[in-house]
Amino acid sequence: MLRVIQISDTHLSRQKRHFAGNWPPLAAWISAKRPDLVIHTGDLTVDGADTEDDLVHCAGLLGDLGIPFRAVPGNHDVGDAGHQQQPVDGARLARWQRHFGPDRWSRISRAGASSASTRC
């Protein structure tokens, strides 16, 4: 059986540390559960849409878990469709893809590889 943990809305940032204290206990809990895969369903960052260091920081935190993971971006990560000040655009998606791979994936095979593989 494949053990999956899904998390969301961690809102992490190296500079804007409002929610930084939430990560260590969450990371410890994830490690203790020993999942086969972690899926983060958006808003990894506080402001990854405009601050690439937020994406770098979060990719490092997820990578440090030592557990395969997949992630899809939220509006804090790549902007918001139709938003006037922070729309999703090619530059924001390219920054996401540099650190997390594709901004979507369609399926995961039994072996754990997706058709649009991200960090696994």
Residue 9 is part of a domain; what is its CATH number? 3.60.21.40
Tens-place pLDDT, residues 44-73: 999 999 999 999 999 999 999 999 999 999
Cα(114)–Cα(120) distance, rounded to whole angstroms? 9
Decide if 118 is inside a domain: no
Q: pTM of the prediction? A: 0.85
Residues 75, 41: contact at Cβ < 8 Å? no
Write out the residue range of the structural domain in which residue 60 sits. Answer: 4-100
How big is the CA angle at 50 (ends 48 and 53), to the nearest 5 degrees?
55
Mean pLDDT (whole number) for 76-88: 92
Helix (H) or strand (E) holding 77: helix 75-78
- Assigned domain for 115 exists: no
Residue 111 located in a structural domain: no
